Structure 1
Amino acid sequence: MSVAHPRKSIAWIAGIMISCIASATSAASLDTIAKQAVLIDMSTGTTLFEKNAHQRMATSSMSKIMTMYMVFERIKAGRLSLDDTMPVSERAWRMQGSKMFTELNAQIKVEDLIKGVIIQSGNDASVVLAEGLSGSEERFAEEMTKRARELGMADSNFKNATGWPDDNHYSTCYDLALLAEHLIKEYPEFYHYYSQTEFTYHGIKQGNRNPLLYRNMNVDGMKTGHTETAGYGLTASAERNGRRLILVVNGLPSMQARADESARIIEWGFREFESYALFKKGEPVEQAAVWMGAAGTVPLVVEDDLRVTMNRDERKNLKVSVVLEEPVPAPVAKGTRLGKVVMEAPGFSKREVPLVAGQDVERLGFIGRIGAAAMHLVSGSGS
């Protein structure tokens, strides 16, 4: 690994192995029989593998992740409680496919409905929640689509709360991975429902359909899906040693293929890639010279912890540089962007991370500025 600076070496960074946040060309060493797939390291945002990741597809019951996002959002906003109850309409009661086996006209607690959707993949429970929150499933689906757009899910459109087949109901592997990331980050207090392996309602015990929960591989969510059109799909997440991977696959030919392919891809992601801490939030990366400042330099820091992921075979061919224009004229306000860290490696897109002032630097007073200007003239005259 080489480290460079436009003006001076920052050799103390040497030895840190990093990568750009992008799709790794080395991922071509992996293939899958899934029609669509994406594997993302959530800790750094690195796409480790993708196949038709932006191709629109029928998402079947994986759509229920969006349904749950909408429910969790309302609970966190104080507009809904886990202890609230919702009525079962005839429409919800008559839903076919996977079911919670709700009773017609029953009042069911929201928490039980959540378990019915996540663990039992209940189409009836999904409709109960949709009607209870928005008055109708159609209105709820419109709200799902609107919220998805706000989350950056540009290639998703929802026509129902269940994933029931509809030509205008679709998403992509990338969008579902993005949704999973939002749900895990924003609603960690509710994520535990996804790891629950069974739930009994109305005297009927059903197991969680996520096959990876039953394998010793640190998977703790999220949701399966299957229709004749879409094939077998899975959105899954696993965490090891501070790294969280999100996998979305779809279009697999059988339940067994879904389980085996998903496990294989996740294990590959943990085995072939590693995540490295580069800089902590607020930790000085470089010092920038300050012109006419009460201090001669200002520390440059990253705004958030900077972790990066790279393939183990690629980590030696990396270049890290700090780019800044100096001296920086005083006054300097803390948080002002003054430069950037640039990371490049063969097979990875260039990544740039802003550097900001780590502290305020006041401007020199009038007498100080005169002295600094005179010193500059003297030092510059011999150049």
Structure 2
Amino acid sequence: MRMKSDTVSQSVFFDLAKRPFGVFTEVMGRIFLAGLIAVLTFSAPAFANSKYAGIVVDAKTGKVLYGEDADQLRYPASLTKMMTLYLTFEALEAGRISKSTPVPFSKKASAEPPSKLGVRAGRSITVEQAILSLVTRSANDAATALGELLGGSEQRFARMMTNKARALGMTRTTYRNAHGLPNSEQRTTARDQARLGIALRQHFPQYYDYFSTRSFRFGKQTIGNHNRLLGNVRGVDGIKTGYTRASGFNLVTSAQLDDRH
């Protein structure tokens, strides 16, 4: 199966994931308490449990404010790119790469299906352009190129991703690629994704603002962010949307209001 689009609008979440997202908006709108929510939906008949899975966590205390099937396995879709970015930020912090380091596109990276930047094989972009393309367009070609740069191959990078997941306490997450296009062995849970979202904020505050990027210029293009919650829901500052037919619509987001996270 192929990913059609990662674009997520507010109406999509109210219509298709209104139970977990409704909890979030109630928390945000009625009592002004911001949490970190990971919502993963799945509708394949192979799973007997509800297609919705969600969790809301107070990022300061770790208290779970809401949970529904938070430990049930789901497909992460483009939420996968959160871990690709985590390892990218880690490499930046360690000095192994810089924001201006070239990210070459192999034939494999260039051939990834949309959403993508459309960079031809043999050409390159900078690490910062790759980061921005992942948080806005959710570019699959750039994710693969980053994985190959950091891991030598996408397969080795996937092992690095899974190892990092274990180090972060994401005990039920397995990665097989850098982008989140369908792979039956690539699984996660809402709780694990919440852990990753919190880790991104806590471990890399110097890079976290990338997730609030509304748009960026790439050549002659102005690329907008797929996350329509940015600028529309008070306090929301990221993080990542995802969609495949197998996973349904996915969201990991964080919000900050009145000194609550």
Q: 1:231 aligns with which of 236, 248, 251?
A: 248
Secondary structure in 1 matching 2:57:
strand
Which shows bigger deviation, 54-63 or 95-104? 95-104
Deviation of 1:202 after TM superposition, in Å, equals 3.3
Tell me the TM-score normalized by structure 1. 0.55
Q: 1:167 aligns with which of 171, 184, 209?
A: 184
Q: 1:149 maps to what in 2?
A: 166
- The whole-number CA distance in structure 1 between the counterparts of 2:243 and 2:128 is 24
- The whole-number CA distance in structure 1 between the counterparts of 2:219 and 2:153 is 25
- The whole-number CA distance in structure 1 between the counterparts of 2:149 and 2:183 is 22
- The whole-number CA distance in structure 1 between the counterparts of 2:243 and 2:162 is 21
Cα deviation 1:38-60 (Å, max 9, x = unaligned)? 01110111100000000010010
Q: Is the 8 A contact 1:222 1:236 kept in 2?
A: yes
Secondary structure in 2 matching 1:243:
coil
- The whole-number CA distance in structure 2 between the counterparts of 1:86 and 1:165 is 24
Percent of residue pairs bearing the same amino acid type: 36
Q: 1:114 aligns with which of 113, 116, 131?
A: 131
Alignment of 1:23-38 (within 5 A): 35-38=52-55
Larger Cα Rg: Structure 1 or Structure 2? Answer: 1
- The whole-number CA distance in structure 1 between the counterparts of 2:183 and 2:191 is 20
Q: 1:80 aligns with which of 89, 92, 97?
A: 97
- The whole-number CA distance in structure 1 between the counterparts of 2:218 and 2:120 is 10
Q: Structure 2 counterpart of 1:70, which letter? A: L
Cα deviation 1:319-342 (Å, max 9, x = unaligned)? xxxxxxxxxxxxxxxxxxxxxxxx
Q: 2:194 maps to what in 1?
A: 177
Q: 1:194 maps to what in 2?
A: 211
Q: 1:126 maps to what in 2?
A: 143
Deviation of 1:216 after TM superposition, in Å, equals 4.1
CA RMSD, 1 decimal: 1.6
Q: Structure 1 counterpart of 2:158, which letter? A: A
Q: Is the 8 A contact 1:38 1:53 kept in 2?
A: yes
Tell me the TM-score normalized by structure 2. 0.79
Q: Structure 1 counterpart of 2:70, which letter? A: A
Q: 1:44 maps to what in 2?
A: 61
Secondary structure in 1 matching 2:92:
helix
Q: Structure 1 counterpart of 2:156, which letter? A: R
Q: Is the 8 A contact 1:98 1:121 kept in 2?
A: yes
Cα deviation 1:242-300 (Å, max 9, x = unaligned)? 111xxxxxxxxxxxxxxxxxxxxxxxxxxxxxxxxxxxxxxxxxxxxxxxxxxxxxxxx
Secondary structure in 1 matching 2:229:
helix
Deviation of 1:203 after TM superposition, in Å, equals 2.0
Q: 1:205 maps to what in 2?
A: 222
Deviation of 1:113 after TM superposition, in Å, equals 0.6
Q: Is the 8 A contact 1:39 1:48 kept in 2?
A: yes
Secondary structure in 2 matching 1:70:
helix
Cα deviation 1:336-369 (Å, max 9, x = unaligned)? xxxxxxxxxxxxxxxxxxxxxxxxxxxxxxxxxx
Structure with the largest fraction of strand: 1
Deviation of 1:200 after TM superposition, in Å, equals 2.4
Q: 1:219 aligns with which of 210, 226, 236?
A: 236
Unaligned runs of 5+ in 2: 1-22, 27-38, 42-50
- The whole-number CA distance in structure 2 between the counterparts of 1:86 and 1:63 is 19
Secondary structure in 1 matching 2:223:
strand
Secondary structure in 2 matching 1:240:
coil
Q: Structure 1 counterpart of 2:118, which letter? A: F
Aligned length: 215
Secondary structure in 2 matching 1:224:
strand
Q: Structure 1 counterpart of 2:246, which letter? A: T
- The whole-number CA distance in structure 1 between the counterparts of 2:53 and 2:186 is 17
- The whole-number CA distance in structure 1 between the counterparts of 2:70 and 2:258 is 26
- The whole-number CA distance in structure 2 between the counterparts of 1:202 and 1:56 is 39
Q: Is the 8 A contact 1:100 1:121 kept in 2?
A: no
Deviation of 1:201 after TM superposition, in Å, equals 1.5
Deviation of 1:104 after TM superposition, in Å, equals 2.3
